[in-house]
Amino acid sequence: GAGVSQTPSNKVTEKGKYVELRCDPISGHTALYWYRQSLGQGPEFLIYFQGTGAADDSGLPNDRFFAVRPEGSVSTLKIQRTERGDSAVYLCASSLFGQGPSTDTQYFGPGTRLTVL
């Protein structure tokens, strides 16, 4: 596609429910990143994929959060037993090689706004 796309655009769920957020990176981009942006804050890193594998998941806040990228393109961020504190905008980004900004740039999607009631 022309850019990074994320679905759904908005998601409202109840506390304790399970949610899945989807990211479609730019075609051909090998690196994919998830960030979380809470209200009034800058985005915070969650996890980074290089191809199908998670190269760095140090930003995942706890074991309720999990992400996959089984075929090296689309990625799904999964949140179990959602809590009100999980409410945020979840941003996805992709880059061509993931070899650092000296070679390429991270392009961001429009995000999914998750609201946990």
Partner 1 sequence: AQTVTQSQPEMSVQEAETVTLSCTYDTSENNYYLFWYKQPPSRQMILVIRQEAYKQQNATENRFSVNFQKAAKSFSLKISDSQLGDTAMYFCAFMNRDDKIIFGKGTRLHILP
Give me the residues that bind partner 1 (CB under 8 A), please: 31, 33, 35, 40-45, 48, 55-56, 59, 89, 91, 93, 98-102, 105-111, 113
Q: What distance in Å separates the CA atoms of residue 37 and residue 20, rounded to the nearest whole number?
A: 17
Min dist. Cβ of residue 69 to partner 1 (A): 15
**Euclidean distance between CA atoms 101 and 105, whole angstroms:** 6
Of 39 and 63, which CB lies nearer to partner 1 in the complex structure?
39
Partner residues linked to 112 by β-bridges: 90
Q: How far is the CB of 16 from partner 1 (least distance, A)?
A: 26
Distance of closest approach, residue 34 Cβ to partner 1, in angstroms: 11
Cβ proximity to partner 1, 41 vs 80, nearer residue: 41
Closest to 29 in 3D by CA, of 88, 108, 82: 108
Identity of the residue, 48 or 65, whose beta carbon is nearer to partner 1 in the bound complex:
48
**Per-residue tokens: 86:** 């999980």
Shortest Å, Cβ 71 to partner 1? 21
Residue whose CB is less far from partner 1, 28 or 40:
40
∠ Cα 55 34 114 (to 5°): 150
Residues 6+ apart with CB under 8 A from 40: none
